[in-house]
């Protein structure tokens, strides 16, 4: 997983954040703001908001009109399988399940489809630990 983390952080440009909240005190908001400040384009995916951090929000991954490098998941572990199915469908390169989010079956499915997978890790903490290799 460490090699996947380094590769994702150094090559990704566009991160779709599933479950991104518009409330600044929520972990998803803090992590997305951090990524944005470090040069990543974030795309909010949340059917309950229209915009977060100055970016248009989408209800589902399928609605995003651009290519997505990483699908960063801030949802319950049980909610992950359909998100992974969408990530595969849209051609994402990686699925990142945040701390506390674990779904081994969805991870296997994503890997079988050729996606890199990170589970139960915070992308902000990993970026701080590994750096991003090119920015």
How many angstroms separate the CA atoms of 25 and 11, rounded? 28
How many angstroms separate the CA atoms of 101 and 129, rounded? 20
135 in a domain, yes or no?
no
Tokens of 90: 């849209």
29 in a domain, yes or no?
yes
Provide the 8-state DSSP code for 17. E
Which H or E element spans position 117?
Answer: strand 116-118
How much is the pLDDT for 131? Answer: 66
Residue 132: count other Cβ atoms within 10 Å of its Cβ: 18
pLDDT, tens digit, for every residue of 68-116? 999 999 999 999 999 999 999 999 999 999 999 999 999 999 999 999 9
How much is the pLDDT for 114? Answer: 97
Which H or E element spans position 4?
Answer: helix 2-11
pLDDT, tens digit, for every residue of 15-65? 999 999 999 999 999 999 999 999 999 999 999 999 999 999 999 999 999
**Which residues constitute the domain of residue 42?**
2-130
How much is the pLDDT for 2? Answer: 85
* Position 134 pLDDT exceeds 80: no
The CATH code of the domain that includes 98 is: 3.40.50.720
How many domains are there within the chain? 1
């Amino acid at each position: 997983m460490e090699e996947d983390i380094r590769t994702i952080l150094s090559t990704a440009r566009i991160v779709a954040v599933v479950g991104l909240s518009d409330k600044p005190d929520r972990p998803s908001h803090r992590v997305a703001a951090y990524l944005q400040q470090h040069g990543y384009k974030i795309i909010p995916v949340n059917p309950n908001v229209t915009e977060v951090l100055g970016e248009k929000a989408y209800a589902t991954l399928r609605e995003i009109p651009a290519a997505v490098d990483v699908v960063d998941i801030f949802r319950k572990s049980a909610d992950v399988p359909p998100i992974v199915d969408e990530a595969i469908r849209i051609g994402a390169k990686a699925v990142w399940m945040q701390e506390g989010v674990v779904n081994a079956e969805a991870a296997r499915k994503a890997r079988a489809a050729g996606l890199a997978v990170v589970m139960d890790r915070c992308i902000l903490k990993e970026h701080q630990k590994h750096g991003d290799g090119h920015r």
